[in-house]
Every structure is written in C-alpha cells, then in structure tokens.
Amino acid sequence: MLYLKNGYMIDPASGAEGYRDILIDTEHGIISRIVPQGTPMDETLGIAKEIDLHGQTVTPGLVDVHVHFRDPGFTHKEDIHTGAAAAAKGGFTSVVLMANTKPAVDNPETLAYVLDKGKETGIRIDTCANVTKGLQGKELTDMKRLSRLGAAGFTDDGIPLMDEALLRKALQTAAKCGKPVSLHEENPSLITNNGVNAGKAAAHYGIGGSPREAEISMVERDLRIALEEEADLSIQHISTKEAVELVRQAKKKSRHIYAEATPHHFTLTEEAAIQYGTMAKMNPPLREEADRLAIIEGLRDGTIDMIATDHAPHSAEEKAKPITEAPSGIIGLETALSLGLRELVNKGYLSLMELIGKMSLAPAKLYHLDAGYLAEGGPADLVVFDPKKEWVVKDFASKATNSPFVGETMPGVVSYTICGGKIVYRN
C-alpha cells in the first residue's frame, strides 16, 4: 500500500476538491480509499510507504491523445521508451500515439508491435491506426479488424483525407466500431510552404506559407460530413478563429463533434515563427493574436473539448535546416501542464479544475479510456505537482529538444507521476 497524505485533490469527474488522503493498492493498481485529510488509516491495511505531499495538488494522471513517438521507423527522433519517459515527467499517465510511422499502423503486425512495446514503459500507451493504407488516402484499412485488435481510434494525422467519399465511408465504419476519427485539417492545394502562416511570418521569410483557408475549408467540409453520418469526429490542433466558430456551431447540432487545441496554439502567434525560426515551425502554423484568443475562448466556453500536445520530436540536425526544409513540429509533453497553468489558469481564463478536465477527463472520454478521474476502486493514475513552484525548461527526458520554450521559467513542478499504483516519475 502507498499512502499519500496532505494533498489537495482535484477530480474533474466528480467536481470534488479539497485536502484528501489517498490510499493506493499498489498490487492491484487501484485507489483503495480517499478520505478527508487527517482521517486515521487502519494499520491492518499494511501501508508500506507513506508520502507527505505538504499541500501539493493531486489530480488524475494527464491524458494526451495526440503524440508522436516515431516508433517504428524514425527512432533517431524519439522511441516509445523515451516518449513515455517524457510523458511521465510531464505528468501524463495515458497517451494515444499517432499512426504516421514507418511502417504505418495500417496492419495488425505494426499495431501489435506498438502496443506490446508500450506495455514495457510503465505508463498506459494506446495508439490510433491509420484510416487509409500507407497513408495514401486511396483505400481504407481493415478498420474493423484493427479496432478489434486494440486500435483506440483512426487517423492519418499529418496528411489530410481529401477523398470525400472515402472519408464518409471511414466515418461510417468507425462509428460501427465505436471509435473516433481524428483529422488533420489542411488542404495542401492551397499551401505553398507549410509550417508558417501566410501572413507576417511568411512575408518575413519571403515564402508563400500556409493560408488560414487551408484549414477553414477542410473543417467546414468534414464537419458537414460528420453531422450527416452522426459519427465521432475530432478536429485536431485547431489554429484559426473561423474553424473554432465552425466547431462551435456544429456542436450545437451534434454530440459527436470534438476539437483539440495545443499549448503552442493558445500560447504563441506567428511572431514566434519569426523569433524562433524552425523551432516554431509547425502544422498547422502559429497564426494571429485574434486566432490565439479565439482558441482560448473556445477552451473557455467548451467549444474545444481537450488540450493535446501534438508532441512532435525531431533531431537537432533536422531542425537546423532552412525554414522551407526543416520538418514541422515541436515537443510538448514536458511543458504542457506548465503552459496551461501560465496561460489559462493564472490569467483567469480557466479554473484549475477546468484545465485538468481538458487535460485528462475529456480526452479519456473521447477515446473511451479508463482514465481522467480519481475514485475508490478506480485506476491509481495520478500526478502530484506544485502549481506555484517554478522551473526552467531544460534537460528533457525526450530524445529531442525542439522547443521554442527552452530557457523559459514556468510554473508547475511535477513531483510524482503514479501509474497503476507505481511511481513512474519522481522529481
């Protein structure tokens, strides 16, 4: 038994918060008791370890449903073990991997490889499978079989699905499997140089960039199809104010529409692409201040359900290339909680309860994961952190370091990450 005492518990599922003592059954990986602070514990329970949290915050382990661990195929950037270490350091106990690996997760063998390797890490690793074979956008994978074998959902993340009829069929099939489809929304025919907003940033580099219409047009089309099919659809890493409004209106018509926002899109604008160069190059790109504020409002009013990092590791050599050649993406697992605290909670947009809900309960619900809540008999997946204590961004657990936030001082120091009753990260 592991006894956590004197912690300030926040549970978005029940809405309960306050000082609680938590007893964890480490053998079975569940929470045995949650009691008011100072309640005497039965000594016959056999408490093996006691930790005084001294008032630190205790919440469900964070859940990130949009990460890239690059394994198989690109393990010079990241692998499942280093990605899991980064997740644990950031307070995440559950992650859902994207399927744009090499080979892609479009077959049972690669799916089994990822899931089996995930079981070795100490945290809970699920993965999406691809919507189309080889990410080619031409032929659907055997979605029913991949679902039966453990795929958490379906996505061709990184590559938009341009065939409208194929998307409709994919949504129909996924709905029968009870799994969501998550879409990367950028029309490549409208983009000259991706990763940089077609505005001030693109002008700075003398390139075409990615116009907002590339996202807006795809979101508009895909929401229409999803509404017609009544299928669970998640709009990934939303970046424009127009797309936020499209989701807002669609959610009024259907409970099947979801959206995610990344910490970098609610924190930065295209000015960062000018300041940090390739370290702030990403798909979809950072846009204007009005877009950033619209994303925050979408998080505040519930239009955007969840926060997901789009953790996208790349090597230093790759990111050192010119702006038009370097790959898009930044790492995010180790800074997400702190950015949420700094940009959303400390500035009054969300309560801490709301932030944790969007980083645990909401994503878990979309992917039907047993996570995101604290309850007796429930999974002992927790993160303990001090929301006011500060740290400097450096020394990543990730294999990669491609982040524009390196060197910044941020609030929110994770002390413990506990998954399945086991301490998987200790500061």
Phi-psi region of 411 (alpha: psi -120 to 50; beta: other; left: phi over 0): beta
At residue 294, the 3 state secondary structure works out as: helix
Q: How many helices (H) and strands (E) does the chain have?
A: 14, 16
| CA 298/CA 25 separation, integer angstroms | 38
Among this protein's residues, is 232 annotated catalytic? no
Catalytic residue, from 310, 370, 381, 395: name it.
310
| CA 148/CA 129 separation, integer angstroms | 11
Amino acid letter, residue 398: S
| CA 87/CA 82 separation, integer angstroms | 9
Q: Do 100 and 68 form a contact (C-beta atoms < 8 A)?
A: yes
Q: Do 2 and 49 form a contact (C-beta atoms < 8 A)?
A: yes
At residue 178, the 3 state secondary structure works out as: coil
Neighbours of 303 (CB within 10 A): 23
At residue 71, the 3 state secondary structure works out as: coil
| CA 379/CA 25 separation, integer angstroms | 10
Strand pairing partners for 125?
95
Tokens in use for 266?
């609610």
Residues 6 or more apart in contact with residue 177 via CB below 8 angstroms: 143, 144, 147
Cβ burial, residue 148 (10 Å; 0-12/13-18/19+): exposed
Amino acid letter, residue 47: I
Antiparallel, parallel or unpaired: β 257-261 and 233-235: parallel
Residues 6 or more apart in contact with residue 42 via CB below 8 angstroms: none
| CA 193/CA 323 separation, integer angstroms | 9
Q: Residues with catalytic annotation?
A: 310
